[in-house]
Amino acid sequence: MTHSTYTLITGRIPLLISMPHNGEEIPDDIKAKMTDIGLSVQDTDWYMDKLYDFAVELGAYILMPKYSRYVIDLNRDPAGINLYPGSDTTELCPTTSFESKALYLPGQLPDEAENERRVKLYWQPYHQAISSTLDKIQQQFGKAVMLEAHSIASVVPRFFDGQLPDFNFGTNNGVSCASALVAAIEAVDYSPYSQVTNGRFKGGYITRAYADLERNIHTLQLELSQRTYLNEESLTYNEQQADLVKPKLAMIVDAMAKFALTS
């Protein structure tokens, strides 16, 4: 199903893969107010749809936005609450890049009314799609599992020291999914890559907001280091590196699918 702000690929197993930072487009009215950095959408979770293309054949539901996180961050609380108190973060409608560079021309920052407009136009439809899809899956199968698929530059001094591990899983410190799912994910052989659970990333707003273990709805976030599949300087897809990391992603998705299909 194609909505004006997102695409939902309907699956046949109780697994939803959400890619909230995969979008690259910016509406013309917002483009006119942005700097070249803003127009570059450089903090996109690049090529998530290409990395997870195997999941369509597996039968997973796939949800992807049309617009960039620079328009509005779909993985932020609409009230603007910082999920990592005391840590630096970008806003619901970001005004700076991960390199702390301005996204908007002088005097063109989005105000409160503009933020509310973007919540209504772009944020709410994506979240309604998550909610209705998880409800549909849960009603059909008695269980629903969601993977929040993200990627990030391997080094972002604004947010963390040094180089990130390659696979960064977040479960809100074990609250967002059953321990059996975490065990299945951690049983995957990640060699030669590094892996951590609930390290710097513990799951963003979507992971935390839609987990409901009483209804058997389980959520988990993966932040994949972009050095595993990108030429990071040019932000171009590296086929050779991607071909090495995709089997690991396939094992993760397979483990989640098996958990989802187990009564």
pLDDT by residue (tens digit) across 61-100?
A: 999 999 999 999 999 999 877 766 666 678 899 999 999 9
Q: Give yes or no for residue 263 having a pLDDT over 90.
A: no
Written as six digits, the tokens of 41 are 């959408």
Q: What's the pLDDT score for residue 156?
A: 86
Q: pLDDT tens for residues 18-48?
A: 999 999 999 999 999 999 999 999 999 999 9
Beta strand extents in 36-166 (DSSP E only)? 61-65, 144-152
| Superfamily of domain 6-260 in the CATH hierarchy | Zn-dependent exopeptidases (3.40.630.40)
Amino acid at 30: I
Per-chain mean pLDDT for the chain:
95
Contact predicate 221/145, CB 8 Å? no
Written as six digits, the tokens of 109 are 């920052």
Interval 9-17 mean pLDDT: 97
Q: What's the pLDDT score for residue 186?
A: 96
Contact predicate 31/39, CB 8 Å? yes
Written as six digits, the tokens of 133 are 């899809």
Q: What's the pLDDT score for residue 85?
A: 65
Q: pLDDT tens for residues 137-177?
A: 999 999 999 999 999 999 987 878 889 999 999 999 999 99
Q: What's the pLDDT score for residue 161?
A: 85
Domain boundaries defined on the chain: 6-260
Helical H segments across 43-176, by residue range: 48-51, 54-58, 112-118, 124-141
Q: Which helix (H) or strand (E) holds 8?
A: strand 6-9
Tally of CA atoms within 13 A in the half-sphere of 55 that contains its CB:
33
DSSP state of 164: P
Q: What's the pLDDT score for residue 158?
A: 82
Helices 179-186 & 239-260, crossing angle to 10 degrees? 150
Q: Give yes or no for residue 262 having a pLDDT over 80.
A: yes
With tokens 């994506």, the residue in question is 126
